[in-house]
Amino acid sequence: MIDQVLGLRCVICGAVYAPDEVDYVCPKHGNEGILDVIYDYDLIRARTDKTALGEERSMWRYRPLLPIEPDAAVPPLQVGWTPLYRASRTEARLGIRRVHVKDDGREATASFKDRASALALVKAAEGSAEVVTTASTGNAAAALAGVAASVGQQTVIFVPASAPEAKIAQLLVYGATVLTVEGTYDEAFELCLEAADEYGWYNRNTAYNPYMTEGKKTAAYEIAEQLDWQVPDVVLVSVGDGCIIGGVHKGFRDLHAIGWIDRIPRLIGVQAAGSAYLAEAWRNGEDVLEKPPIEAHTVADSISAGLPRDRVKAMAAVVETDGAFVVVTDEEILEAVTQQARETGVFGEPAGAAAFAGLTKAAVEGLIDPSESVVVVNTGNGLKDVASAVKAADLAGSRPTQIPPTMSAVRAAMGDGT
């Protein structure tokens, strides 16, 4: 019995449903009526303690705080418990007391999305789904395909035909049925919903399936635990649909509610200048349920979203934590790809390094005090998008020197004239 879950609450009207009463969204609000899983925190507190989390080195160490059966089978691929690295050279450059990078490029399929997909597969198995489907700009699909492969689950994936090659290759390698949609991510998303409805597939779509936030929240648990439950002052996350930042917020809210941490960090959402819907809405005080979609273009494909699907949760994450949104240009993002790699050893895809670019921007804008501690989340591995990585290196002036196989050529290349 999943008795730690009290219900699912619509983010728009606040109506609460029993988990088996609705499929995915609030019936009164359609696709906009995203549900938030609400918990019996007294029960969780009585059942478990932060000193009793056990030896499991994955997101499943937090089982009592997840919406699954206590003995549910979980996929064998390691998801979660990614490293948190101190970035001392970044601290020195920015004059900030403490900076850590949480490297979710180290997930099984190389992005943060594994956390949500792993939970989706447990929920799909609860209902004995034959097929699990999602639409994705790439990483959510790769995550679903990879984790599904580890349990032999069949998947059908909708991606925009423009998704980077490496991400589509991942899907094919894992054996997913792949439909590359001639259109935008938004069109792929709508098509996926219709197809899931018609065929009765289990739907993993971000900001539609209420449990995706619950998988993503485990990153916040890990950040807190890896810092010995002394939460940082600020956490920076790149934002496209807004599900990750909403999930990180949920994770800290859970821990605060059960008394494992004494405060909730300020959350700073980082958006690309060409896809800054939420940053604009935040700055102008616009209602995200009224604001029309924008035309999104950015090198950071994973955070390109004309109408962020999880915008209500994302806005709440920033507003309720007294955080902020910052905007970074594509050039700043590409600069951050090399800067993050060189200062920390963490190689991110553009959307991953965007948060690191956002840290520099936030420091310059005075959003972080020198005395504070900060965690930056790198959400995706740099090898996801090799073309952008090559561009980033080029922008940093790094090019290989081609030489004949002789020592004199080596000496010449080293600037040694002899």
Ligand X SMILES: *Cc1c(COP(=O)(O)O)cnc(C)c1O
Q: Which does 113 bind (CB under 5 to 8 A by kind): Zn ion, ligand X, none?
A: ligand X
Burial 349-360 (b: 16+ CB within 10 A, else e): bbbbbbbbbbbb
Minimum CB separation of residue 13 from ligand X in Å reads 23
Cβ–Cβ < 8 Å for 318, 334: no
- Look-up of token digits 């590409």: 334
Nearest to 255 by CA among 3, 53, 391: 53
- Look-up of token digits 């905007």: 327
Minimum CB separation of residue 241 from Zn ion in Å reads 19
Nearest to 204 by CA among 307, 103, 309, 275: 309
Residues 373 to 412 in contact with ligand X, rule: CB under 6 A: 379-380
Told to check if 244 binds ligand X by CB under 6 A, we report: yes
Q: Which does 352 bind (CB under 5 to 8 A by kind): Zn ion, ligand X, none?
A: ligand X
In this chain, which of 111, 155, 271, 360 binds ligand X, going by CB under 6 A?
A: 111
Told to check if 33 binds Zn ion by CB under 5 A, we report: yes
Told to check if 283 binds Zn ion by CB under 5 A, we report: no
Told to check if 153 binds ligand X by CB under 6 A, we report: no
Task: Give the H/E segment covering residue 375.
Answer: strand 373-378
Q: Angle of helix 386-395 relative to helix 330-344, nearest 10 degrees? A: 90
**DSSP H helices in 54-138:** 88-94, 114-126
Told to check if 16 binds Zn ion by CB under 5 A, we report: no
3-state DSSP assignment of residue 209: coil
Of the ranges 92-100, 158-166, 177-185, 238-246, which one interacts with ligand X (CB under 6 A)?
A: 238-246
Q: Which does 265 bind (CB under 5 to 8 A by kind): ligand X, Zn ion, none?
A: none
| Identity of the residue, 39 or 112, whose beta carbon is nearer to ligand X in the bound complex | 112
Q: CA–CA separation, 158 vs 156, rounded Å?
A: 7
The count of other CB atoms within 10 Å of the CB of residue 386 is 13
Strand partners, 158: 135, 179
Of the ranges 38-46, 57-65, 107-115, 174-182, which one interacts with ligand X (CB under 6 A)?
A: 107-115
Residues 188 to 217 in contact with ligand X, rule: CB under 6 A: 206
Q: Which does 13 bind (CB under 5 to 8 A by kind): ligand X, Zn ion, none?
A: Zn ion
Told to check if 113 binds ligand X by CB under 6 A, we report: yes
Cβ–Cβ < 8 Å for 396, 340: no
3-state DSSP assignment of residue 250: helix
Told to check if 240 binds ligand X by CB under 6 A, we report: yes
Residues 285 to 344 in contact with ligand X, rule: CB under 6 A: 302-303
In this chain, which of 6, 12, 273, 393 binds Zn ion, going by CB under 5 A?
A: 12
Residues near ligand X, by CB under 6 A: 111-113, 139, 206, 238-244, 302-303, 349, 351-352, 379-380
Residues near Zn ion, by CB under 5 A: 10, 12-13, 26, 28-29, 33
